[in-house]
């Protein structure tokens, strides 16, 4: 989250920001000798109108804008009058509120309320956007795990039909994969090294299933210092094995270059596969899912390209972590 976002998402910082700016304005405009103290007292007098506005008047804005502006102005006018009376009373002068004095205090009230309202609206909009983003990510992750499990169970079912001796080993690998996907992917980000270990386990599972396939998995660099969105790369790896051609060939390469993750996967292509099937149906759930998650979590920080020709299907992904 950017610094601006952290400020907006923190109520304490938000209040400190508002009152610090107003205090500086008061200090700059007050001409009395003890202006630092007077500015502080001014803050205390402004507080009630600001919090009345924040708690009771701002929520009306979305329901009835005319009612909001009426209440907003009445709030400012009421507390401006009370503030002017309080100032004169504290100075032990006869209470005689001049129109000019009320106008000055009212202007200060309106400036304070407008500034505090803008910060509050910006914060609420930011929080809502974050909540909406988190809700969509949770939905996408919920879609992903059943999709992955569905494809894996299909593979195991095929082996069980022919009573393959590989089945027990594959079941153990599947157990490890599910343990990771169910218990270690609850956060928005996980350790990159764990995610790569997960990919290795998946590739090992596929190697057991495909004896005659040419499968290559390479990794290069230090992954221990970085984090990544969980289950992000598995979609591409899964699709490489799902859409293999008659001569199975898979190449997966992962490299860490400074703070950029370079991921490449390539597989021989099934010539009989209808091209649109890569984006539609069961396969499309995974690809569309990962594209949405990339856009949500790494906006402006990733580059994804998918190439296909007559013989191969290739994915190139670069993500700044």
Q: How far apart (Å, rounded) are the C-alpha atoms in residues 154 and 141? A: 20
DSSP 301: S
DSSP 223: -
Alpha carbon of residue 118 to chain centroid: 23
Residues 6+ apart with CB under 8 A from 35: 26, 27
Q: How far apart (Å, rounded) are the C-alpha atoms in residues 190 and 246? A: 36
SS3 14: helix
CB atoms near residue 268 (< 10 Å): 20
Would you state the pLDDT for residue 15?
Answer: 76
| Per-residue 3-state assignment (H helix, E strand, C coil) for 231-283 | CCCHHHHHHHHHCECCCCEEEEEEEEECCEEEEEEEEEECCCCCHHHHCCHHH
* pLDDT tens per residue across all 321 residues of the chain: 445 455 555 677 777 877 888 888 778 777 667 778 877 877 888 888 888 888 888 888 878 888 888 888 888 888 888 877 776 665 555 444 445 566 777 888 888 888 888 878 877 777 766 666 665 656 555 554 565 567 667 767 776 776 777 777 777 777 777 777 777 777 778 899 998 988 988 888 777 767 667 889 999 999 989 999 888 888 888 888 877 767 788 999 999 998 999 999 998 876 555 444 444 434 455 677 788 888 878 888 999 998 887 778 899 999 998
- DSSP characters over 81-114: HHHHHHHHHHTT------HHHHHHHHHHHHHHHH
Residues 6+ apart with CB under 8 A from 111: 25
Q: How far apart (Å, rounded) are the C-alpha atoms in residues 318 and 321? A: 10
CB 254 within 8 A of CB 219: yes
- DSSP characters over 39-84: HHHHHHHHHHHHHHIIIIIGGGTTT-HHHHHHHHHHHHHHHHHHHH
Residues 6+ apart with CB under 8 A from 75: 49, 52, 53, 57, 113
DSSP 310: S
Would you state the pLDDT for residue 141?
Answer: 58
Would you state the pLDDT for residue 140?
Answer: 52
Query: CA triplet 277, 283, 284: central angle to 5 degrees?
Result: 80
Query: CA triplet 93, 82, 25: central angle to 5 degrees?
Result: 90
Nearest Cα residue to 232 out of 290, 283, 307, 296: 290
Would you state the pLDDT for residue 146?
Answer: 62
Would you state the pLDDT for residue 223?
Answer: 92
Would you state the pLDDT for residue 260?
Answer: 94
SS3 29: helix
Top-tier CATH class for 164-320: alpha beta
CB 51 within 8 A of CB 14: no
Would you state the pLDDT for residue 275?
Answer: 47
- How many Cα atoms sit within 13 Å of 8 on the Cβ side? 19
- pTM higher than 0.75: no
Token digits for 136?
């969509």
DSSP 221: S
Q: How far apart (Å, rounded) are the C-alpha atoms in residues 97 and 84? A: 7
């Amino acid at each position: 989250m950017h610094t601006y976002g952290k400020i907006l998402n923190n109520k304490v910082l938000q209040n400190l920001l508002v009152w610090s700016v107003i205090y500086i304005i008061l200090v700059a405009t007050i001409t009395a000798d003890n202006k630092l103290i007077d500015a502080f007292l001014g803050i205390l007098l402004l507080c009630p109108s600001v919090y009345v506005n924040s708690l009771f008047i701002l929520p009306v804005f979305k329901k009835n804008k005319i009612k909001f502006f009426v209440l907003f102005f009445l709030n400012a006018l009421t507390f401006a009058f009370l503030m002017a009376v309080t100032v004169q009373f504290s100075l032990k002068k006869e209470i005689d509120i001049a129109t000019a004095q009320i106008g000055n205090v009212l202007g200060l009230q309106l400036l304070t309320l407008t500034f505090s309202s803008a910060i509050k609206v910006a914060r609420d909009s930011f929080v809502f956007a974050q909540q909406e983003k988190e809700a969509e990510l949770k939905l996408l992750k919920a879609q992903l795990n059943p999709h992955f499990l569905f494809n894996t169970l299909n593979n195991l079912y095929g082996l069980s039909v022919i009573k393959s001796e590989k089945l027990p080993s594959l079941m153990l690998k599947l157990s490890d994969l599910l343990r990771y996907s169910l218990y270690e992917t609850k956060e928005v980000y996980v350790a990159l090294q764990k995610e790569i270990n997960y990919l290795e386990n998946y590739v090992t599972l596929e190697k057991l299933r495909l004896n005659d396939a040419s499968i290559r998995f390479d990794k290069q660099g230090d992954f221990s210092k970085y984090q990544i969105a969980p289950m992000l790369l598995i979609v591409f790896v899964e699709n490489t094995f799902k859409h293999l051609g008659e001569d199975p060939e898979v190449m997966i390469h992962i490299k860490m270059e400074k703070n950029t993750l370079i991921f490449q996967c390539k597989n021989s292509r099934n010539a009989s596969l209808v091209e649109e099937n890569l984006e539609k149906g069961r396969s499309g759930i995974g690809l569309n899912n990962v594209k949405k998650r990339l856009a949500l979590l790494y906006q402006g920080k990733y580059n994804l390209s998918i190439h296909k020709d007559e013989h191969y299907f290739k994915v190139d992904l670069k993500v700044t972590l």
